[in-house]
A and B are shown apart, each in its own frame.
Chain A
């Protein structure tokens, strides 16, 4: 059974320095509140896994929480570069960041293999590509039945997976819908899982075949309304496109970035305090 608890307690209890952590959400339901809490609690030396390390990982990398990044597309969607990720890769700031990169089909398959307790995933790709030269975790195998050459990548098995979802019931069963990305696979591949939700309800009213994660597959469920902002939660709120555009300016310069993190994350108590400070910054047109 997942424990219904605060996000602070969940991160404190389940995420440790040096852990491998996957925060998933394919542009939808990105667990920003949880990412901020990781920064607030000064977690270090994390190996971050995420198919699309957008603004959430730019914040974690720039704040010095990461040692390594495993990913398949690292940009600010619809805007451009992730400046903190680029600064880390191009200039080792704030520290050297080891990168291991894949393609989306590859990494999503690696989560499936992790959830299925298989050592590796197999796919048709990468022949002719230079990615395998730089990533020793992309290799080729021969099919034992047909002799065909296929690409193989090791399963992803995070110590902790963190996702955001729409609803949980009072036992901690979680319902999510809309664009689902690899959230379910990421939870089932992990040793421990933390899920933040928009609301806790008496009854999920989920139709058969809906994407429901049973309470006993997760460690903690935390009610954090708005916890995916500035990304969106289908049925609750829309994507804050202006913030993604503003992030380009905030993150471009090291000092501007560090001041923003200090004021909005390190000096706020939790996500609801963060949202208040952010709204004030927006009024002053600082964001």
Chain B
């Protein structure tokens, strides 16, 4: 389809939401992961359990939270526990199926950086830091990453390894003895990547409609691998787009970002 009626960001969010199964227990970061997880909840996965690190378990926000601890998250949750409890009993306790994260930089083995650009002691850009990502990357049974793709974000070498993915590839993550399997998919505005079964290097398995191999390569600083059976992502359905746009509009109105109609 040449004249797509959706944006690449919408395609990314929808492709990420489709990866979440109904009933999964999902530990959600703020921003794109939270948008995609709530889209899943409002479409194909009504029984998904959303956990936010501030304490809500089974959150069902009416609008997307602006901060990780918005009141709406607590108001509509199954229960709200303290932050130590979220990390100790629920995440480390092994009850989280999917950790859903973003990043500022990612490498070919899906290790991520959310700490600094440049040298740690003399950074060019100081980023917010780890948040709950190192613990989520360690303990969630699986991790899904969602971020926009460019050669500045998909780098040969991270400026800082904040949270471990598949470390140096092969069985190097396994040797660390972490409870979780690590990243199982990376969703971008161009494609979906999955780690190769043996090398654990990210491999493009799906191109979004309209995206080319060349485009993906140009937006990746290393020589990216493509799966032999490369597929095209199904374009967003009317229903997915409608729910997503409605959610984003409701959110903007609630957060005072657009005048109410």
Contact = CB atoms under 8 A, between A and B. Distances in A.
Interface stretch (A33-41, A73-81, A214-222, A267-275): A73-81
Contact of B176 (A85, A102, A127, A182): A127
Contacts, number: 177
Contact of A27 (B67, B82, B87): B67
A124 B80 contact: no
Contacts of B65: 78
Give the residue among A82, A125, A181 with the most B Cβ atoms within 10 A. A125
A241 B255 contact: yes
B218 interface: no
A75 B128 contact: yes
A47 interface: no
User: Which secondary structure dominates where chain A touches chain B?
Assistant: loop
Interface in A88-110: 89-90, 101-106, 108-109
B102 interface: no
A124 B92 contact: yes
B67 to A, nearest CB: 3
Interface residues of A, number: 54
Q: Which of B84, B88, B161, B162 has the most CB of A within 10 A?
A: B84
A157 interface: no
B23 interface: no
Contacts of A78: 30, 65-67, 255
Top-9 shortest CB links A-B? A27-B69, A128-B164, A105-B135, A77-B67, A75-B128, A78-B66, A105-B87, A73-B131, A127-B176
Given A89-B123, A178-B74, A179-B55, A71 B134 contact: no
A179 B73 contact: yes
A126 interface: yes
A28 B75 CA distance: 13
A125 B83 contact: no
B155 interface: no
A157 to B, nearest CB: 16
Contact of B74 (A89, A103, A124, A234): A234
A28 B179 CA distance: 31
B130 interface: yes
A102 B163 CA distance: 12
A278 interface: no
A78 B32 CA distance: 11
Contacts of A28: 54, 69, 71, 74
Interface stretch (A9-17, A129-137, A279-287): A129-137
Contact of A101 (B130, B161, B255): B130
B138 A72 contact: no
A26 B160 CA distance: 26
Interface in A196-251: 232, 234, 238-239, 241-242, 244
B202 to A, nearest CB: 16
Contact of A124 (B122, B138, B162): B138
Given A73-B132, A179-B80, 19 more contacts: A51-B83, A52-B68, A71-B129, A78-B255, A85-B126, A106-B135, A109-B88, A112-B88, A123-B135, A128-B167, A128-B173, A129-B163, A130-B162, A131-B134, A178-B74, A180-B80, A180-B81, A181-B82, A182-B84
A178 B132 CA distance: 20
Contacts of B188: none
Contacts of B68: 26-27, 52, 77
Max chain B Cβ within 10 angstroms of own Cβ: one of A26, A51, A185, A232: A26
